[in-house]
Structure 1
Amino acid sequence: MKLNIVPARTGITWVKLGIQTFFKQPLALAGLFFMYMAAATLASLIPVIGVVLALAIVPAATLGLMAATLEATKGRFPMPAILVSAFRAGQQRARAMMVLGFLYAAACLLIVSVVPLFFDVPVSRESALAPEMQGVMLVIMVLYLPISILFWHAPALVHWHGVTPVKSLFFSAVVCFRNAGAYALFGLTWMVVLMLIGLAVSLLAGLLASPEAAAALVMPAALLMAAMFSSSLYFTFRDSFDATPPDSPVNNDNTDNNPTPGETP
Structure 2
Amino acid sequence: MEKLPANAGWLWVKQGFALFRKQPAEMATLFLAYMFLMLIIGIVPLLGQILPMVLVPVFSMAFMQACTHIEQGKKVYPNLLLTGFRKPAFASLLKLGVLYLIAAVVAVAASALIDGGVFWQVMSSDKALDRETIRNSNMSLGMMFSAAIYIPAAMAFWYAAPLIFWQKMSVGKAVFYSFFAVKRAGSAFLVYGLSWMLIGVLLPALVSSLIAMLFAKSFVVMLVLLPLSLMLTVVMYCSFYPTYTAIFGRPDSTAPALLN
Give a deviation string over 1:177-207, Cα, whole Å, max 9, x none: 1010111011111122222343223323332
Say whether 1:201 aligns with 2:208: yes
Aligned-pair RMSD on alpha carbons?
2.5
SS at match of 1:7: coil
Say whether 1:141 aligns with 2:147: yes
Q: Is the Cα–Cα contact under 8 Å of residues 66 and 233 in structure 1 kept in the other structure?
A: yes
Instruction: Note closer, same or farther for the CA distance 1:79–1:207 as it changes in structure 2 (3 Å cut).
Output: same
Displaced runs of 4+ in structure 1, greater than 4 A? 128-132, 262-265
What's 2:22 paired with?
24
Deviates more, 1:62-71 or 1:135-144: 135-144
The total of aligned residue pairs comes to 249
What's 2:33 paired with?
35
What's 2:167 paired with?
161
CA distance in 2, matches of 1:181, 1:72: 28
Instruction: Note closer, same or farther for the CA distance 1:146–1:220 as it changes in structure 2 (3 Å cut).
Output: farther
CA distance in 1, matches of 2:130, 2:231: 26
Instruction: Note closer, same or farther for the CA distance 1:93–1:196 as it changes in structure 2 (3 Å cut).
Output: same
Q: Is the Cα–Cα contact under 8 Å of residues 13 and 236 in structure 2 kept in the other structure?
A: yes
Say whether 1:184 aligns with 2:190: yes
| TM-score between the two structures when normalised by the length of structure 1 | 0.84
What's 1:80 paired with?
78
Which gives a bigger RCO, structure 1 or 2 (Cα 8 Å, sep 6+)? 1
Q: Is the Cα–Cα contact under 8 Å of residues 12 and 185 in structure 1 kept in the other structure?
A: yes
CA distance in 2, matches of 1:103, 1:4: 30
Give a deviation string over 1:29-86, Cα, whole Å, max 9, x none: 1221222222223222222221211101111122211111221223322111112212
SS at match of 1:22: helix
Q: Is the Cα–Cα contact under 8 Å of residues 163 and 263 in structure 1 kept in the other structure?
A: no
Larger helix share, 1 or 2: 2
Instruction: Note closer, same or farther for the CA distance 1:162–1:70 as it changes in structure 2 (3 Å cut).
Output: same
Matching residue's letter, 2:38: A
Instruction: Note closer, same or farther for the CA distance 1:247–1:81 as it changes in structure 2 (3 Å cut).
Output: farther
Say whether 1:241 aligns with 2:248: yes
Give a deviation string over 1:122-170, Cα, whole Å, max 9, x none: 4527639859532232222222222211111001100001111111011
Match of 1:124 among 103, 121, 128: 128
Identity of aligned residues (%): 28
What's 1:254 paired with?
none
- Which structure 1 residue ranges, 5 or more long, are not aligned? 252-259
